[in-house]
């Protein structure tokens, strides 16, 4: 049951087995106040069939949760302290798991206050018969009397918690025996002879009596009874073999208590309806009142109620401090609370400082007055935790991560069922309280994500997203990509020895493909020593180029295969003399890859305008679409709200008005917004016109210089020297994106 092992520091540490560490705490927490105080009346009003169905449905949730816990626990080499928090953290990451852990800790702590109140309910009338006690608290009203008794009970439980888990476990063994005796007395009560004739009717109450609550109202009243598995799971950090004990101990406790609840509900359905009916003042009779005619059973049941509520409080006084200790050790809590991971003793391992915090949370819960509302909030907190544990196991199953290799035989459908039912039960409890708890968890999650996880999600999310993307890739091969579906899939290049170029090209690539396409950033590693030691921006790839053969390396990367049948349709290249543009452009055009040459220029004005120099639909259509995409990206990123201007230079004999109408009509059909500027041919070269009209633009898009040579300008009739000289004319211009379309891009969707 209890084993002493020696760890690396030479100190003794008490570790528990399945029975004492998981089964007993869960068993005692499940067989709590509901069994003795609520179930009798529920079984009477609902009838055996409906009550049995409620018990079955309730237990399916805990069974699903047990499967999920088993899935996650048997996949982790070292679970550590924290129970359900530990399982959730390792699956859902630091921020999401931490938000669950904080809610779990608060619910566990507050639960002790409710169990203390439940303990005081039957004890109040007995203690008030003692003259010494009556003399001190008899003058207060009944609620205050119960709160005083509950405070004394909570203080006693706190002192036991300070004594340590191994001491509480010994006490729980005694409680376990008494609880078995109390439950056994109920099951065997019909055999008590003539004394039972005044209690049992001789017929099974199958359909209920009186004004019964609705099915789901009765369900929500009973459901807290089966949520006690957390008391055992929370001992994960104090188990000899947590991978085995958490799974087997939880399943066994659920299975045994399930049959106990069915058997006890059957016994309650044999009781005469009049004994289970509420009194004139609305008081619901307890099982002690029902069996008051059989003194031996009544005493056993009273003892059972006291030990059931007391043991539940003790179970959570072991669990809650360990959850806080785990949160502090994982640096989830603020730094000022790091002391919660420690003990009073210098080398101690018991979470005694955390137990003090738990006690300070219990007191306001006991004295809050509105115990019913607070109990509902705590119940919903537990349900949210159970729901997320199921959801974590569901995500682990569907993620397909090779690292997820649990020993258990669960299935994603089981975990999904547990999650859905937990969320449904929350709605049945109180949808508004549920939303409030969910909002509070979201706030905690966002704070942890920002201050504890550097705004990065951890855990199973990457695998889930990868599986979803992979599924999409496989199905995209079956879909034809046409003009309607065109998106820029860009491979961007820059030289590592030009850090300014790297940042400018990455920025332009993101502006083109961040929201409406894909961009792969490739940084060419040069022989320059400074370039080889540079710190790579994220995300990017460092390309080793043999013998400085940049052109071949660029072509090889662009021709590389991509997942999902994707292919690079656009290449973004820097304006750099080391590249043989003529050869690259000719090859990429034949491969039907659009070419963009980017020359970054300093912004000299506060202009928010993108100028597109139109020279026919061959390049113009693609430039117009790129201008639109860039402007939308700038707006989404909060950079600036840009405007687009289409500039067209007409021939001497062309009608300017007609040309303007044609351009506006094209923009209208293409559903693109922008201005149109028509300028008459004046025999000046294009770069001189651009000085006059676009020197104040934020970005200029124009065709790549050159004379087309047949067909769709797939070849250029110019040499490298001429090409370089032409590009040099735009040295002092604003940023320019030189565009060469591989084919005519249709702006208008017919």
Domain tally, the chain:
3
Are residues 677 and 634 part of one domain? yes
Position 49 scores a pLDDT of 92
Position 712 scores a pLDDT of 44
Q: What pLDDT, in 10s, does the model give residues 684-693? A: 877 788 888 8
Q: What pLDDT, in 10s, does the model give residues 56-113? A: 998 998 899 888 888 877 766 666 666 677 777 777 778 888 888 888 888 888 888 8
Give 271's contacts (C-beta < 8 A, 6+ positions apart): 40, 44, 199, 200, 201, 205, 290
Are residues 516 and 399 part of one domain? no
Of 543, 574, 597, the domain-final residue: 597
668-683 mean pLDDT: 79
Judge whether 654 lies within some domain: yes
Whole-angstrom distance, CA of residue 561 vs CA of residue 559: 7
Q: What pLDDT, in 10s, does the model give residues 177-235? A: 888 888 888 888 887 766 667 788 778 888 777 666 778 778 877 887 787 787 777 67
Are residues 511 and 412 part of one domain? no
* Secondary structure, 3-state, 71-108: HHHCCCCCCCCCCHHHHHHHHHHHHHHHHHHHHHHHHH
Residue with tokens 């080391």: 578
Position 732 scores a pLDDT of 79
Position 262 scores a pLDDT of 94
Whole-angstrom distance, CA of residue 201 vs CA of residue 577: 101
Q: What pLDDT, in 10s, does the model give residues 533-549? A: 556 665 678 888 777 78
Are residues 202 and 122 part of one domain? yes
Give 733's contacts (C-beta < 8 A, 6+ positions apart): 599, 601, 687, 690, 691, 694, 695, 700
Whole-angstrom distance, CA of residue 150 vs CA of residue 671: 71
269-297 mean pLDDT: 76
- The more confident residue out of 317 and 694 is 694
Judge whether 703 and 737 are in contact, CB under 8 Å.
no
Its pTM stands at 0.68
Whole-angstrom distance, CA of residue 201 vs CA of residue 122: 26
Which contiguous run of DSSP H or E holds residue 541?
Answer: strand 541-544
Residue 706, classed as helix, strand or coil, is coil
Q: What pLDDT, in 10s, does the model give residues 582-594? A: 888 888 888 889 9
Per the structure block, which two tokens stand in for 216?
């789901």
Q: How would you classify the pairing of strands 594-599 and 735-740?
A: antiparallel
| Residue 697 backbone zone (phi > 0: left; psi -120 to 50: alpha; other: beta) | beta
Mean pLDDT of all residues in the chain?
Answer: 79
588-609 mean pLDDT: 83
Judge whether 79 lies within some domain: yes
User: What percent of the chain has a predicted confidence (pLDDT) above 90?
Assistant: 4
Residue with tokens 């059972």: 304
Judge whether 62 lies within some domain: yes
295-329 vs 165-188: helix crossing angle, rounded to 10: 150
Q: What is the DSSP letter of 335?
A: G
Position 263 scores a pLDDT of 93
pLDDT band at 255 (very low <50, low <70, confident <90, very high): very high
333-351 mean pLDDT: 79
Q: What are phi and psi of 327, to 5 degrees?
A: -60, -40
Of 569, 597, 625, the domain-final residue: 597
Whole-angstrom distance, CA of residue 653 vs CA of residue 671: 29
Give 122's contacts (C-beta < 8 A, 6+ positions apart): 286, 288, 302, 305, 306
Q: How far is CA 475 from CA 471, 478, 569, 714, in A?
A: 6, 6, 20, 33
Q: How far is CA 499 from CA 142, 146, 504, 550, in A?
A: 77, 73, 9, 17
Would you say residue 530 has pLDDT above 80?
A: no
pLDDT band at 55 (very low <50, low <70, confident <90, very high): very high
Tally Cβ neighbours within 10 Å of residue 227.
25
Judge whether 326 lies within some domain: yes
Whole-angstrom distance, CA of residue 371 vs CA of residue 424: 23
Whole-angstrom distance, CA of residue 375 vs CA of residue 146: 16
Are residues 621 and 571 part of one domain? no
Full domain range(s) for residue 699 = 601-750
Of 560, 579, 597, the domain-final residue: 597
Q: Which residues pair with 13 in a beta bridge?
A: 5
Per the structure block, which two tokens stand in for 300?
């056993």
Are residues 408 and 540 part of one domain? no
Judge whether 110 and 366 are in contact, CB under 8 Å.
no
Would you say residue 744 has pLDDT above 70?
A: yes
Residue 609, classed as helix, strand or coil, is strand
Judge whether 28 and 172 are in contact, CB under 8 Å.
yes
Judge whether 105 and 97 are in contact, CB under 8 Å.
no
Q: What pLDDT, in 10s, does the model give residues 360-380? A: 988 888 887 655 566 666 677
Position 719 scores a pLDDT of 56
Q: What pLDDT, in 10s, does the model give residues 367-413? A: 876 555 666 666 777 788 888 888 888 888 887 767 666 767 778 88
Give 202's contacts (C-beta < 8 A, 6+ positions apart): 270
Judge whether 735 and 584 are in contact, CB under 8 Å.
no
CATH number at residue 297: 1.20.1740.10
Q: Which residues pair with 738 in a beta bridge?
A: 597, 702
pLDDT band at 142 (very low <50, low <70, confident <90, very high): confident
Q: What is the DSSP letter of 239?
A: B
CATH number at residue 523: 3.40.50
Whole-angstrom distance, CA of residue 471 vs CA of residue 191: 62
Are residues 610 and 590 part of one domain? no
Judge whether 434 lies within some domain: yes
Are residues 647 and 533 part of one domain? no
Are residues 244 and 129 part of one domain? yes
pLDDT band at 605 (very low <50, low <70, confident <90, very high): low
Q: What is the largest CA-CA distance in the chain?
A: 121
Cα 288 versus chain centre, distance: 45
Q: How would you classify the pairing of strands 518-525 and 541-544?
A: parallel
Q: What pLDDT, in 10s, does the model give residues 696-710? A: 888 989 888 665 554
Q: Which residues pair with 700 in a beta bridge?
A: 611, 736
Are residues 513 and 436 part of one domain? no
Q: Which residues pair with 525 in a beta bridge?
A: 544
Judge whether 574 lies within some domain: yes
Would you say residue 448 has pLDDT above 80?
A: yes
- The more confident residue out of 167 and 675 is 675
CATH number at residue 685: 3.40.50.620
Are residues 611 and 552 part of one domain? no
Are residues 590 and 633 part of one domain? no
Which contiguous run of DSSP H or E holds residue 698?
Answer: none
Judge whether 704 lies within some domain: yes
Would you say residue 259 has pLDDT above 90?
A: yes
Whole-angstrom distance, CA of residue 163 vs CA of residue 491: 65
Judge whether 477 lies within some domain: no
Position 713 scores a pLDDT of 45
Judge whether 41 and 284 are in contact, CB under 8 Å.
yes
């Amino acid at each position: 049951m209890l084993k002493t092992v020696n760890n690396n520091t030479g100190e003794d540490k008490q570790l528990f087995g399945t029975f004492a560490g998981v089964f007993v705490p869960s068993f005692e927490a499940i067989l709590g106040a509901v069994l003795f105080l609520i179930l009798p009346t529920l079984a009477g009003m609902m009838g055996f069939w409906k009550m049995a169905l409620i018990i079955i449905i309730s237990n399916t949730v805990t069974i699903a949760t047990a499967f999920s816990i088993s899935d996650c626990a048997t996949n982790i080499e070292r679970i550590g302290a924290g129970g359900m928090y530990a399982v959730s953290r390792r699956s859902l990451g630091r921020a999401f798991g931490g938000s669950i852990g904080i809610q779990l800790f608060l619910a566990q702590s507050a639960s002790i206050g409710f169990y203390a109140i439940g303990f005081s309910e039957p004890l109040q009338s007995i203690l008030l018969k003692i003259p010494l006690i009556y003399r001190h608290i008899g003058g207060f009203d009944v609620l205050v009397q119960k709160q005083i008794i509950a405070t004394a009970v909570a203080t006693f439980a706190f002192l036991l918690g300070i004594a340590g888990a191994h001491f509480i476990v010994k006490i729980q063994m005694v409680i376990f025996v008494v609880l078995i005796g109390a439950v056994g007395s109920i099951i065997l009560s019909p055999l008590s002879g003539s004394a039972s004739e005044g209690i049992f009717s001789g017929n099974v109450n199958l359909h209920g009596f009186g004004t019964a609550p609705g099915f789901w109202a009765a369900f929500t009243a009973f459901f807290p009874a089966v949520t006690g598995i957390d008391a055992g799971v929370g001992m994960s950090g104090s188990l000899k073999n947590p991978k085995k004990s958490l799974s087997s101990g939880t399943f066994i406790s659920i299975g045994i208590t399930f049959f106990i609840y069915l058997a006890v509900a059957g016994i309650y359905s044999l009781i005469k309806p009049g004994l289970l009916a509420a009194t004139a003042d609305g008081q619901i009779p307890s099982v002690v009142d029902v069996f008051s005619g059989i003194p031996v059973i009544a005493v056993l049941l009273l003892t059972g109620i006291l030990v059931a509520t007391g043991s539940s409080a003790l179970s959570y006084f072991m669990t809650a401090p360990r959850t806080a200790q785990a949160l502090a050790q994982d640096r989830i809590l603020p730094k000022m609370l790091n002391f919660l991971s420690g003990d009073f003793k210098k080398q101690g391992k018991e979470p005694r400082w955390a137990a003090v915090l738990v006690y300070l949370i219990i007191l306001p819960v006991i004295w809050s007055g509105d115990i019913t509302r607070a109990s509902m909030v705590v119940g919903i907190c537990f349900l949210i935790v159970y729901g997320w544990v199921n959801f974590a196991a569901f995500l682990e199953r569907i993620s397909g991560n090779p690292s997820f290799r649990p020993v258990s035989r669960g299935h994603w459908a089981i975990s999904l069922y547990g999650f859905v039912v937990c969320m449904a039960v929350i709605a049945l409890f109180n949808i508004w309280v549920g939303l409030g708890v969910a909002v509070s968890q979201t706030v905690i999650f966002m704070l942890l994500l920002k201050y504890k996880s550097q705004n990065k999600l951890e855990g199973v999310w990457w695998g889930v997203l990868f599986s979803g993307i992979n599924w999409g890739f496989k199905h995209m091969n079956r879909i034809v990509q046409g003009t309607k579906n065109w998106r820029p899939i860009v491979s961007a290049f820059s030289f590592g020895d030009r850090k300014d170029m790297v940042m400018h090209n990455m920025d332009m690539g993101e502006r083109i493909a961040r929201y409406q396409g894909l961009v792969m950033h490739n940084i060419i590693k040069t022989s320059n020593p400074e370039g080889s030691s540079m710190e790579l921006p994220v995300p990017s790839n460092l390309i080793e180029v043999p013998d400085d053969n940049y052109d071949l390396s660029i072509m090889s990367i662009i021709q590389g295969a991509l997942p999902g049948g994707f292919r690079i349709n656009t290449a973004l290249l820097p304006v750099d003399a080391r590249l043989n543009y003529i050869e690259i452009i000719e090859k990429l055009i034949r491969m039907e890859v659009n070419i963009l040459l980017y020359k970054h220029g300093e912004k000299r004005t506060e202009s928010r305008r993108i100028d597109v120099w139109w020279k026919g639909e061959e390049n113009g259509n693609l430039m117009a679409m790129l201008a639109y995409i860039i402007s939308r990206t700038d707006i989404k990123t909060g950079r600036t709200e840009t405007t687009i201007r289409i500039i067209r230079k007409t021939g001497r004999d062309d009608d300017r008005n007609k040309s303007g109408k044609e351009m506006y009509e094209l923009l209208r059909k293409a559903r693109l917004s922008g201005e149109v500027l028509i300028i008459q041919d004046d025999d000046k070269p294009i770069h001189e016109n651009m000085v006059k009209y676009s020197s104040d633009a934020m970005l200029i898009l124009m065709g790549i210089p050159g004379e087309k040579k047949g067909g769709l300008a797939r070849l250029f009739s110019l040499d490298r020297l001429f090409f370089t000289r032409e590009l040099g004319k735009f040295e002092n211009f604003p940023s320019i994106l030189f565009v060469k379309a591989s084919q005519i891009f249709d702006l208008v969707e017919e």
